[in-house]
Structure 1
Amino acid sequence: MADYILNHVIVDGTRKQIDNLLVAHFRKLSGEELRHRPFTHYDFLWQDIIPMPEEVATSRDEDKIRNWQLYNWSCFGTGKEVTETNFGNRGTLNFRFPTLGAEPRPVYTELVKRFPRLKFNFASISMPNFCLFIGTGIDGKLLYVDDDYD
């Protein structure tokens, strides 16, 4: 069974820049959803940053789907969008979301490229093996600070 990974991201920038990120890659939750998920206002649509092609997504070949996910995302989705979001005291956007197997490093790389004026801090930890990935995205580039996976 693949490790459960908790991915935590802190985004720093102007409110307008963060709003642009929210519009592009997050889904705002409905009032009914908010009643069931405290401290959460958005789901991070990380799988849409590098979207799975329709012919793969609709395939009945699980190996084809998993191979595509590993090659393009370096991980597997958990099967449901679950994000915990909040805003920090200085206006930063903080969000956490799960993946299986590893952090979605190619997604992080693409996200940083799309929003080069924002500063991203990434931390991903696997359970139960406690491997760690820490990175920073600035000026359109993802830099690794610590990487216990390699």
Structure 2
Amino acid sequence: MFAIIETNVASATTGVLENLKRHRDISIAFLQMLDRKSKLEANQISTFYKKLSANKAKVNQNRGVPGLESEVARLDAVIKVDSEEMLFQQRRRTYIHYCVATEVSYLHKQQAFVSLLYQNFVHEQLQYARRTVDNWKALEALLCEMPKPEDFA
């Protein structure tokens, strides 16, 4: 009887408890990833867009004006650098969104794992209950073979 109880406790401890701890750790890591996402995804694209628009307006205004060719060339170089940086930021934002989507997908799969974990736990508990009933039935059969109090009178 004690072996059955020890097996049940060991199974519950190593199986269910450890897997629930793992799921808790995954959930905490997901929340931390969302915090990092909000910090990493500072909206710099709008800043670059405003700066780019202002520089393009200056270039269009100064193009063809004598004596401002060097200023126009400098602004063209700045526009090129800002355009590349804005493109980099857009790709970075897309990559961050991809990573978040992947993590959400993984989290959903883990929630399905928890459901399966509970199903297995209930199944193990049913098996434990059946073994306990079988054990009591075996003890009952032995009890019937024992002498009755009237036999000693």
In the superposition, the TM-score normalised over structure 2's length comes to 0.24
Question: Higher strand proportion, which one?
Answer: 1
Structure number with bigger Rg: 2
Question: Higher helix proportion, which one?
Answer: 2
In the superposition, the TM-score normalised over structure 1's length comes to 0.24
